[in-house]
A and B are shown apart, each in its own frame.
Chain A
Amino acid sequence: MVEEEGFRRYIAHIVLWIGIAVVAFPVYLAFVASTQDNAVIANGQMSLLPGGHFFKTYYQTIFVGTSGTTREPVGHMMLNSLVMALLIAVGKIAISIISAYAIVYFRFPFRMSIFWLIFITLMLPVEVRIYPTYKIVADLHMLDSYAGLSLPLIASATATLLFRQFFMTVPDELLEASRIDGAGPFRFFWDTLLPLSRTNMAALFVILFILGWNQYLWPLLITTRDDMQTIQIGIRKMITTTDALTEWPVVMATAVLAMLPPVFVVVAMQKLFVRGLVETEK
């Protein structure tokens, strides 16, 4: 890193602080709003300092839910979201690492055709094929279930490509040494390739977990029961009220809670993630 002198360094720091403020202030505001009384927010006199309703609001949000709109405690929504995001992330990694293994290490008929077939599905995200996908899930009686929420989102061309690229950098001699050491295809995958892919899997997990957590369109379509709705759908439902005041503290608390798991995943995985970038040796 180049050491900047005096004045230029202050400029750089000021720009960075402005950036932080732009990103962090709305988040801070959401947190402050979640600790205020609803009446104070409604008449526009909200203070910029946290109010005294922290425990009350969060208890109500997590265990009771809003009084009128969703009739579902946010704690349960978070559980639904968590299960969905985990299933999607773990499922995607499992499926794609296995298919990448097949494509890179085995010679079978139409190997390249299959690779390209996987590749072109990049052009067909869920939004494009939403009707047929919905039809299939409905026909399989998977509406309002965790399987329905996660299965259609599990197939992943991106992750398959990523693992393929990584596998191609693993030296062939490692496979040959394994063969001489008496390890068959399964053992090589399990004992050598999986441990080597650890950091890649961690990086993918972070990305895929957040992707799964933030799903909106698909859960909106296939969940109808209140006890299957995810937190992203819940927030939206809470805001729209017909004959009552929107319970802003609860909405804001839900928003803050919805942010926490992705933040936790990023923080927890960061070490592995960074080590994956630093460790160059294969």
Chain B
Amino acid sequence: MANVTLRSVRKTYPGGFEAIKGVDVDVGDGQFCVLVGPSGCGKSTLLRMVAGLETVTGGEIDIGGRVVNGIEPADRDIAMVFQNYALYPHMSVYNNMAYGLRNRGMAEAEIKTRVEEAARILELAPMLERKPRQLSGGQRQRVAMGRAIVRQPKVFLFDEPLSNLDAKLRIAMRVEIRKLQRRLNTTSIYVTHDQLEAMTLADILVVMNGGQVEQIGNPLEIYEKPATTFVASFIGAPPMNLMSTRPEEIRSQLAGSNAADAGILGIRPEDFVITEETPAGGVALPLTVEAIERVGAETFVYGSREQEDQHVAATPGELPPGEVIVRIPGTGAPAIGARIRVAAVRAKLHLFSGDGRKRIEA
């Protein structure tokens, strides 16, 4: 049981590349913290620094009230689950889990109790004598989890543990990881690039971009009040529609309040409704339907706006300029080529400064 605190942590590689540019995160005891961001944003590097697999260039990493910057991974009282599981291929499942305990000089009887307990929790009991190559992907994943559990560490570290599994198994394992973490109540840090995984698992969500933290907070809070356009387009699928407020059509609808300072307007696809009315203070847009995606419970309408001049700073996951996604219920959809009018109420508008770095409350 421990807090994990990162205090202005930096990482600069010998070549001069700055992977982490000063990160402050505070993970409370028993909390599940998810680091999310596009590939190359430094989330894995940060996790590996907590594990002790990468050196820290600046700042402090504190686990349970002890600064661990110079301490070996084995002595940090952490356990890590790797993306490719990193099971020892020549050892049985039992020995894979027991190895770390044996290296610590634990009595064989105690090891047996712990491994069998972990195997019971993870439903691995019938496979203890098998080798990793005789297991399926999901089972290997569970062994990797088991190896972490038996150690009873202060902190679990997960490095994209589900990305090698197929979609169905990924969802099942996601739920299992969450249940397990709740049950063991162990502080966890989890790295993923999948925003859905991040939203569903996290107590605290840390959105990272380019070696910096964009926003820290409760997942729903981040969803409802993204601090930057990067967070706005990264969290939520399909991504938030971002558009410039410069065109007269939008500027006139936003008139009043402090919306005038805003350079970028964001509206989530699910906040639009197809209607001929314009809600008071809201925004309405005429669209030409370009494509329809039906996924059963909901339907995504891809529409284009007439104006060509809007351009918003390009960030990952962002839509091409002029394209708007609208999410509507699964029943009924406009025909392709039809001209429709969509509107969103005032409370659902997100306003950002022109460079996308600052949220403006309307």
- Seen from chain A, the residues whose Cβ lies within 8 Å of a Cβ on chain B are 171, 173-174, 176-177, 179-183, 187, 191-192, 195-196, 198, 279, 281-282
Which residues from A are CB-within-8-Å of B100?
Answer: 180-182
State whether A182 and B82 are in contact (beta carbons under 8 Å apart), knowing that A192-B88, A281-B133, A282-B89 are contacts in the complex.
no
Judged by a CB distance under 8 angstroms, whether B285 is at the interface is no
Which residues from B are CB-within-8-Å of A182?
Answer: 74, 100, 103-104
**Are A180's CB and B74's CB within 8 A?**
yes
State whether A177 and B80 are in contact (beta carbons under 8 Å apart), knowing that A187-B103, A191-B99, A281-B133 are contacts in the complex.
yes
Which residues from A are CB-within-8-Å of B133?
Answer: 279, 281
In angstroms, Cα B74 to Cα A281, docked, is 27
- Seen from chain B, the residues whose Cβ lies within 8 Å of a Cβ on chain A are 51-53, 72-74, 78-80, 82-84, 86-90, 99-100, 103-104, 133, 147
In angstroms, Cα B86 to Cα A180, docked, is 11
What are 25 sample pairs from A and B whose C-beta atoms fall under 8 A apart? A171-B86, A173-B82, A173-B84, A174-B86, A174-B88, A176-B80, A177-B82, A179-B52, A179-B53, A179-B74, A180-B52, A180-B53, A180-B73, A180-B80, A181-B99, A181-B100, A181-B147, A182-B74, A183-B74, A195-B90, A196-B89, A196-B90, A198-B90, A279-B133, A282-B89
**Are A181's CB and B74's CB within 8 A?**
yes
In angstroms, Cα B31 to Cα A130, docked, is 69
In angstroms, Cα B99 to Cα A174, docked, is 13
CB distance from B74 to the nearest CB of A (A): 4
CB distance from A92 to the nearest CB of B (A): 23
In angstroms, Cα B53 to Cα A179, docked, is 8
Which residues from A are CB-within-8-Å of B90?
Answer: 192, 195-196, 198
Among residues of B, the one whose C-beta sits closest to the C-beta of A279 is: B133
State whether A179 and B86 are in contact (beta carbons under 8 Å apart), knowing that A187-B103, A191-B99, A281-B133 are contacts in the complex.
no
CB distance from B327 to the nearest CB of A (A): 39
CB distance from A111 to the nearest CB of B (A): 15
In angstroms, Cα B89 to Cα A171, docked, is 11
In angstroms, Cα B89 to Cα A192, docked, is 9
Which residues from A are CB-within-8-Å of B73?
Answer: 176, 179-180
Q: Which of B86, B88, B104, B147 contacts A176 (CB 8 A)?
A: B86
Instruction: List 13 other contacts, CB 8 Å, given A177-B86, A181-B74.
Output: A173-B82, A174-B86, A177-B80, A177-B82, A180-B73, A181-B103, A181-B147, A182-B100, A191-B99, A192-B88, A196-B89, A279-B133, A281-B89
In angstroms, Cα B88 to Cα A177, docked, is 9
The prevalent SS among residues of A at the interface is helix
**Are A173's CB and B103's CB within 8 A?**
no
CB distance from B193 to the nearest CB of A (A): 18
- Name which of A174, A177, A195 has the most chain B CB atoms within 10 A of its CB: A177
- Name which of A176, A183, A282 has the most chain B CB atoms within 10 A of its CB: A176
Which residues from A are CB-within-8-Å of B84?
Answer: 171, 173
In angstroms, Cα B131 to Cα A282, docked, is 12
In angstroms, Cα B51 to Cα A173, docked, is 12
In angstroms, Cα B100 to Cα A183, docked, is 8
Which residues from A are CB-within-8-Å of B87?
Answer: 177
CB distance from A170 to the nearest CB of B (A): 10
Which residues from B are CB-within-8-Å of A198?
Answer: 90
- Name which of B52, B87, B103 has the most chain A CB atoms within 10 A of its CB: B103
Among residues of A, the one whose C-beta sits closest to the C-beta of B80 is: A180
Which residues from B are CB-within-8-Å of A183?
Answer: 74, 99, 103
CB distance from A190 to the nearest CB of B (A): 12
In angstroms, Cα B89 to Cα A279, docked, is 11
CB distance from A167 to the nearest CB of B (A): 14
Which residues from B are CB-within-8-Å of A173?
Answer: 82-84, 86
**Are B78's CB and A180's CB within 8 A?**
yes
CB distance from B318 to the nearest CB of A (A): 33
CB distance from A201 to the nearest CB of B (A): 13
Which residues from B are CB-within-8-Å of A177?
Answer: 80, 82, 86-88, 147
Among residues of B, the one whose C-beta sits closest to the C-beta of A281 is: B133
Which residues from B are CB-within-8-Å of A192?
Answer: 88, 90
Q: Which of A180, A187, A279 contacts B79 (CB 8 A)?
A: A180
Among residues of B, the one whose C-beta sits closest to the C-beta of A187 is: B103
In angstroms, Cα B80 to Cα A173, docked, is 10
**Are B51's CB and A180's CB within 8 A?**
yes
Among residues of A, the one whose C-beta sits closest to the C-beta of B99 is: A181
CB distance from B132 to the nearest CB of A (A): 8
CB distance from A50 to the nearest CB of B (A): 47
In angstroms, Cα B82 to Cα A182, docked, is 16
Which residues from B are CB-within-8-Å of A279?
Answer: 133
Which residues from B are CB-within-8-Å of A179?
Answer: 52-53, 72-74
Which residues from B are CB-within-8-Å of A180?
Answer: 51-53, 73-74, 78-80, 100
Which residues from B are CB-within-8-Å of A196?
Answer: 89-90
State whether A176 and B82 are in contact (beta carbons under 8 Å apart), knowing that A192-B88, A281-B89, A282-B89 are contacts in the complex.
yes
Which residues from A are CB-within-8-Å of B78?
Answer: 180
In angstroms, Cα B87 to Cα A187, docked, is 16
In angstroms, Cα B53 to Cα A176, docked, is 7
